[in-house]
Structure 1
Amino acid sequence: MTSNRLRVLLVEDVPDDAFLLERHLRRHGYSLELTRVETASEMQRQLEQSSPPDVILADYNLPSFSGPAALKLLHSTKLDIPFIMFSGAVSEETAVDAMRSGAHDYVSKQNLARLIPAIERERNEAVTRKNRLAAEQALKASEARFQSLVEALPLGFLISDSSGKIIYTNAAIERLLGYSGDDLLSGAVTLFDISPLLAERLNDLISSASSLEPFEAGCVKADGHSVDTLIGMSFLDSEAAEVRRQIAIFLADLSLQKKSEELIRRTEKLAVAGRFAASISHEINNPLEAVTNCLYLVAQANLPSDARHYLEMAQKELDRVSQITVQTLRFYRASTRPSRIDFDELIEAVVTLLDSRLRQMEIAVIRDLRVDVPVLGHDGELRQVVANLVSNAIDAVQPGGRILLRSRSSTEWTSGRSGVVLTIADNGMGMDADTRERIFEPFFSTKDITGTGLGLWISREIVMKHRGSIRVRSRRRSSNGRAGTIFRIFLPLMDETVSLQELHKPVEGLPVLPDRETVAKVS
């Protein structure tokens, strides 16, 4: 319902007509504020006021202005104000033209009885238009927020009809499945092409007429591969007729979770295997000592030269078994606090454990170990780093290849810190630039199903925990036949007062060096 307060802008050049109009409106109960103008500039100034008029009444003809010109001026301001032609004797054709031009009504000065109903009707319609415009703007803003929210979702989201035709997708679906938006929205790819299980679950959804519990399903990507997903389905409009219902579907990528679960299973198996190996190594120590003592006693007797030769061979092999047993126990023994580590001895221990693989592939290991200061750190973790890198080098080289292990006391040129440098180089196939940039990413592997993609990632985390750095250079094999990879680890020397918490502090990210060197020493 409109207020009795009324602001009128009157386009009129006759003051007496303005007086009669004002008196008529006041008699009908309006609290009136009437402003009369005769020119376009005067009208423009009134329309630019902070409180525009509630209604505009305009005479059709003025000496220097006109009703149609006033109407055109109003339209140029984009203001929604009721505009009523209020004139004397004007032909019916002129009145129709005014209405076609956008005037809301036409009232003759000789028929003031029509003016009050016309003003009230147009004021009410203006309020209706204003409310409708506000509702439309609010709806557009809501749709824009929804669109932004859906597009920003990390989850894949799509809407389909009851036949499985996709009618909306967000960007996450395209990233997850690899299909283009055109393929999905054109009908070339349906809901059931993405996952046959969706057809069955869609029928369950229609039967239950409510949302389903999320379920796991494999979805087919554009390249033909499958991706594990968690899917949620629900009707957008459950009250609509079945043929018109739309289904909202969310897809969450479970690939990382599946890899994590598989990693946990493998880690548990490795932990069990490690404990088992350590237990066996511990248990066979006593019989080994007994056999060693027996061989010593046998060596005291007078033996033929050939028998003594065989005895010496047995003693050497027994020493080798004993060494492997001791190194196995040390490798799997957990370290709870930093300790002083003989780095060269640690490297030798790892090589001993991998000796069978090296012998099987006839890989030559070139040692150039010259560290004369102990390193403070976690013995078991650093063994794991060296084992990962040497094991990767074994996988990279061909039978008969070479691996260089070199250690030096050194100073880090970027920070001036003193420490130890370990270089592990091989003359394998090398890595291209894309692979080299991703090798420290978790779950990235070039070994297909045989690798977890976590060895180098874990190794980097351990090195970073020890306040060190790890760098890599690599070159793929080219026409000259030279290729290989060099890993360089720097571990700073730290005072023994450094606490376990200090070793866990983060350091800056690790640089990847450009592909500009080959492994000259082992090629």
Structure 2
Amino acid sequence: MSPGQLSATPLHVLLVEDNPEDAFLIERHLRRNGFQPSINRVETAAEMRVQLASDALPDVILADYNLPNFSGPAALALLKSTRLDIPFIMLSGAVSEETAVSSMRAGAADYISKQNLVRLVPAIERELSEVSSRRREMAAQQALLASESRFDRLVAAMPLGLLISDADQRIVYANSAIEAMLQYASGSLRNRESSLSALFPDSSRIVSALQAQPSDRHDSLFESTCSLADGKPLDVLVALTVLNPEKPLEDRRLAVFIADITMRKKSEEMLRRTEKLAVAGRLAAVIAHEVNNPLEAITNCLYLLEHCELSDDARKFLVTAQSELSRISQITVQTLRFHRSSTHARSTDLHELIDTVLAVLSSRFGKHEVEVEKHFGDIPRLIIHDGEVRHLITNLLANSLDAMPRGGRIVIRTRRAIDPVSKLEGARLTIADTGTGMSGETQSRLFEPFYSTKGITGTGLGLWICRGIVEKHGGTIRFNSREASPHRSAGTVCTVFLPTETPADAPTSSSFDLSMARLG
């Protein structure tokens, strides 16, 4: 083998030819011009199909125009049917202009005369270069399509809303998350008829971001208000980025990332309100403590006055004053106990807790003309966090009071019970009222955070907290309610089961207790 052959270019040729001598001449010509050909010669369509179906596809197909049982045009048609991108060069003993033109129109890369093979090698080199270029371009397109597909899947699965607009703020892309967030039908934001200015009442920052120079610094993360499909406002966090800041303004694209912060806003507002309630509670406890000292002095004075000579009318006034003073003293003591909760579960009399709450709420019962009935059964002492359970009872009784603006009756019952699921022994507390009752929808959302039927006066956290307290103690809580109808009265019954002992894995540190106190 000569040194020139060592550097020859390998070339796999599929030759559609019935004449072995012509095949030999073509192979010799290719070898003399820098190729190292490997030629598979076929004479029929069946043989050609086998070659095109093999793993080792040819680099080029050379086909004689006329064969006894096959032809160059038929071979070209067969290649086209496979959709393979392989250069096809037609060969013939006699080339007419009409035959050459028809072959080229059918898809042949070139038409070469067997009597003049000078153009064969340049034609092969040209076609190999072009097919290599096409394959690189196709590979790049496939890689781009795969990248775009991954991007589309990523954006579609992203929980953040994404909008892409042009320089005129027309929306050219919207992912499914933003359509769901803003309550639009699928695809309705992508029709180029929607605009950012229609979604954002204040779009000044969006305009500033579009017009900013690449070197400019601007606040691209801010809170704003976005309009839902029905026109209602939605609190959102917005992040902006220009996708092609180097382009002229009219060609720029702006990506707008949007997150719903409604729940965060509600949480912040509820935290502010509950912090105020917690401060008021602590202040009440301090005042109650300070009032105790002068109360004791007044009590002593009345006791001394009782042993003095008094008229009958004066003695009646003295008895009345002692009675009211005793009542004030009881309220201050109960207030102190109400705002003093233990950090560890301890043995507690549930009836005593209920009486504590009733003493604090007694003035509200009288003001609303609500009658309270107690039916206490023989129940065991409970190992519980007394401050939290007191908070639980207060919330439940306060809800019953709010449901009876024109007066009514509350019945409190306790009895020994066994939970049917956990089989734990404990006490069952039932609070029934003759209030307005609740609809089915309200009952289905009772324990949902921030859901309230009390307007601006309600936090929507009361029953959510109550459920947390009960579950912390290993108990259960359920409601049964109905609204008034022509054939039955309205009312609500709340049933709470608390086991004799709090589960060992219940939180005992003050973090949970403090959060309950604040949210109360």
Distance 1:60 1:225 in 2: 75
Shift of 1:205: 4.5
1:294 aligns to what SS in structure 2? helix
Residues 501/234 of structure 1: CA separation in 2 closer, same or farther (3 Å cut): closer
Residues 5/272 of structure 1: CA separation in 2 closer, same or farther (3 Å cut): same
- From 171, 178, 202, give the equivalent of 1:166: 171
Corresponding residue for 1:411? Answer: 418
Distance 2:277 2:127 in 1: 83
Shift of 1:380: 1.1
Distance 2:485 2:94 in 1: 98
Distance 2:81 2:392 in 1: 75
Paired letter, 1:39: T
Distance 2:11 2:251 in 1: 49
Is 1:438 matched up with 2:435? no
Shift of 1:229: 2.0
2:203 aligns to what SS in structure 1? helix
Distance 2:186 2:75 in 1: 50
Shift of 1:189: 4.2
Corresponding residue for 2:518? Answer: none
Corresponding residue for 2:516? Answer: none
Is 1:489 matched up with 2:496? yes
Distance 1:93 1:430 in 2: 95
Distance 1:223 1:432 in 2: 26
Corresponding residue for 1:449? Answer: 456
> For 1:417-448, what per-residue CA distance to the aligned partner results, in whole angstroms no more than 9, with x for missing partners?
11222222223333333322222122222222
Corresponding residue for 2:385? Answer: 378
Moved over 6 A (4+): none
- From 44, 52, 63, give the equivalent of 1:39: 44
Shift of 1:355: 2.0
Corresponding residue for 1:476? Answer: 483
Residues 59/86 of structure 1: CA separation in 2 closer, same or farther (3 Å cut): same
Distance 1:181 1:413 in 2: 47
Corresponding residue for 2:55? Answer: 50
Would the aligned equivalents of 2:379 and 2:427 in 1 still touch at CA under 8 Å?
no
Is 1:87 matched up with 2:92? yes
Distance 2:431 2:43 in 1: 94
* Structure 2 residues without counterparts, runs of 5 or longer: 1-6, 513-520
Corresponding residue for 2:347? Answer: 340
Corresponding residue for 1:264? Answer: 271
> For 1:126-179, what per-residue CA distance to the aligned partner results, in whole angstroms no more than 9, with x for missing partners?
111111111111111111222222222222221122222222222222233334
Distance 1:127 1:3 in 2: 18
Distance 1:327 1:75 in 2: 95
Residues 175/305 of structure 1: CA separation in 2 closer, same or farther (3 Å cut): farther
Residues 96/391 of structure 1: CA separation in 2 closer, same or farther (3 Å cut): farther
Is 1:78 matched up with 2:83? yes
Would the aligned equivalents of 2:183 and 2:229 in 1 still touch at CA under 8 Å?
yes
Distance 1:357 1:111 in 2: 115
Residues 228/178 of structure 1: CA separation in 2 closer, same or farther (3 Å cut): same
1:131 aligns to what SS in structure 2? helix
Shift of 1:481: 4.5
> More deviation in 210-219 or 444-453?
210-219
> More deviation in 201-210 or 48-57?
201-210
Distance 1:230 1:3 in 2: 65
Distance 2:217 2:436 in 1: 53
Shift of 1:35: 0.9
Shift of 1:200: 5.0
Residues 293/197 of structure 1: CA separation in 2 closer, same or farther (3 Å cut): same
Distance 1:399 1:196 in 2: 44
2:447 aligns to what SS in structure 1? coil
Residues 331/66 of structure 1: CA separation in 2 closer, same or farther (3 Å cut): farther
Distance 1:310 1:70 in 2: 126
Is 1:291 matched up with 2:322? no
Would the aligned equivalents of 2:169 and 2:196 in 1 still touch at CA under 8 Å?
yes
Is 1:250 matched up with 2:279? no
Distance 1:393 1:3 in 2: 97
Alignment of 1:18-417 (within 5 A): 18-180=23-185, 184-186=189-191, 189-203=194-208, 205-209=210-214, 210=216, 212-213=218-219, 214-301=221-308, 303-417=310-424
> For 1:301-326, what per-residue CA distance to the aligned partner results, in whole angstroms no more than 9, with x for missing partners?
45555544443333332222222212
> For 1:256-293, what per-residue CA distance to the aligned partner results, in whole angstroms no more than 9, with x for missing partners?
22222212212221221111011011111122222223
Residues 91/205 of structure 1: CA separation in 2 closer, same or farther (3 Å cut): closer
Alignment TM-score, normalising by the size of structure 2? 0.89
Paired positions, count? 503
> For 1:173-219, what per-residue CA distance to the aligned partner results, in whole angstroms no more than 9, with x for missing partners?
22333344665444654322222321355136514445632122222
Distance 1:64 1:313 in 2: 130
Alignment TM-score, normalising by the size of structure 1? 0.89
Percent identical among aligned pairs is 52
1:345 aligns to what SS in structure 2? helix
2:61 aligns to what SS in structure 1? strand
2:276 aligns to what SS in structure 1? helix
* Structure 1 residues without counterparts, runs of 5 or longer: 507-523
Residues 61/394 of structure 1: CA separation in 2 closer, same or farther (3 Å cut): farther
Shift of 1:392: 1.6
Would the aligned equivalents of 1:84 and 1:103 in 2 still touch at CA under 8 Å?
yes
1:84 aligns to what SS in structure 2? strand
Would the aligned equivalents of 2:479 and 2:494 in 1 still touch at CA under 8 Å?
yes
Residues 427/119 of structure 1: CA separation in 2 closer, same or farther (3 Å cut): farther
Would the aligned equivalents of 1:475 and 1:483 in 2 still touch at CA under 8 Å?
yes
Distance 2:299 2:253 in 1: 80
Paired letter, 2:288: S
Would the aligned equivalents of 1:205 and 1:212 in 2 still touch at CA under 8 Å?
no
1:274 aligns to what SS in structure 2? helix
Paired letter, 2:339: Y
Residues 149/204 of structure 1: CA separation in 2 closer, same or farther (3 Å cut): closer
Distance 2:46 2:288 in 1: 103
Distance 2:207 2:442 in 1: 42
> More deviation in 103-112 or 325-334?
103-112
Distance 1:41 1:300 in 2: 132
Residues 43/499 of structure 1: CA separation in 2 closer, same or farther (3 Å cut): closer
> For 1:74-132, what per-residue CA distance to the aligned partner results, in whole angstroms no more than 9, with x for missing partners?
33333222222233335433333333333333223223111111111111111111111
Shift of 1:19: 1.8
Is 1:4 matched up with 2:1? no
Corresponding residue for 1:509? Answer: none
